[in-house]
Homo-oligomer: A and B are copies of this chain.
Amino acid sequence: MSANQFGSRFVITSFGESHGTALGVVIDGCPAGVRFDEALLKKELERRRPGHHGSGQIVSGRQETDAPEVLSGIFEGQTLGTPIAIIVRNQDARSQDYKDIKTSPRAGHADDMWKNKFGHSDHRGGGRSSGRETVSRVMAGSVAQMMMKHVSAPTKVIGYASQIGPFTLTQEEREQVTSKNIDSFQARFPSTRDHEVDALLKKAQEQGDSYGGVAEILIQNPPAYLGQPVFHKLKSDLAQAFLSVGATNGFELGLGFDAVDVKGTDFHQGSQAAYGGIRGGISTGESILLRVSFKPTSSILDVAKKGRHDPCIVTRAIPVLESMTWLVLADHYLWSKTDRI
């Protein structure tokens, strides 16, 4: 297991610095015979891109197209069983914005940590600690999604913001979200209050402020019996996956912390919400609800960003969390192939 590698069967290696030549990913372990859906790849990359859905004024404005180039592993529209390498070149690097930062690492950022840890670091735009690294995850996740569509067509992964700063989604609103309608909400907060949220974030951006938030990932119709006891329970691999995304600081399965003060006799009535669709670390086949918290964006402290910071990172993180979810599902699906002789 190396530092930039994720997965045990469906193994990805991510590479690339924010202002380097390219970002990319190599997927080793994807079986042969999966139909390669380039449109899906492009759509997911587009969904990750700043300000792609709606006015684009809320999220930081790097205007790259992020055109993926498939270097290997695909032939005649199908996976070959060989490593799939996909890259995206960096075009609009604006590295002049980051000139001053070399000697003054950005407060709240990982820059100084990397500098001290490695002795040598790429200060330009956060180097590899930049959120731009998630391009690699989204590319890999889209291939995982292609594979899962093949073996478990009804499985869906839907992400949305359930909290942005002081605004919280109601249960009613939550129940109406679909993978189709979520991107019509600029901040991916699926509520009629979305314009209030947009206004809050716009103001925060202007004032150099930011908010935290909560993203929810709902897995509908997951395959049953995924998860490997004891250290690779489905929940532990999902937790690792989500907490590897920048600015995250919390994770919940099902009721999470809210289950603490429920009496056991009330809690254990078999409702899927309570169990969270995972028992003994293994998927039951019921829906799985996951929640991830994000702290307020630290880029407000970053003089270089000059009004281009994300006032709330949750919106952009959603396609990334969905990708990590597909990766965990694909990995565990392949793993389950050897559960029994």
Contact = CB atoms under 8 A, between A and B. Distances in A.
A61 interface: no
Given A133-B230, A268-B301, A301-B268, A339 B83 contact: no
Contacts of A315: none
Interface stretch (A169-177, A187-195, A275-283): A275-283
Given A28-B2, A264-B211, A296-B262, A244 B236 contact: yes
Contact of A249 (B109, B235, B295): B235
19 contacts: A2-B11, A14-B83, A16-B85, A72-B128, A75-B121, A80-B120, A80-B121, A87-B87, A113-B225, A117-B336, A118-B340, A129-B229, A151-B341, A211-B261, A212-B262, A244-B281, A249-B252, A257-B257, A265-B300
B16 A295 contact: no
- Copies of chain A in the complex: 4
A143 to B, nearest CB: 12
A82 B163 CA distance: 34
A251 interface: yes
A113 B300 contact: no
Nearest to A108: B268
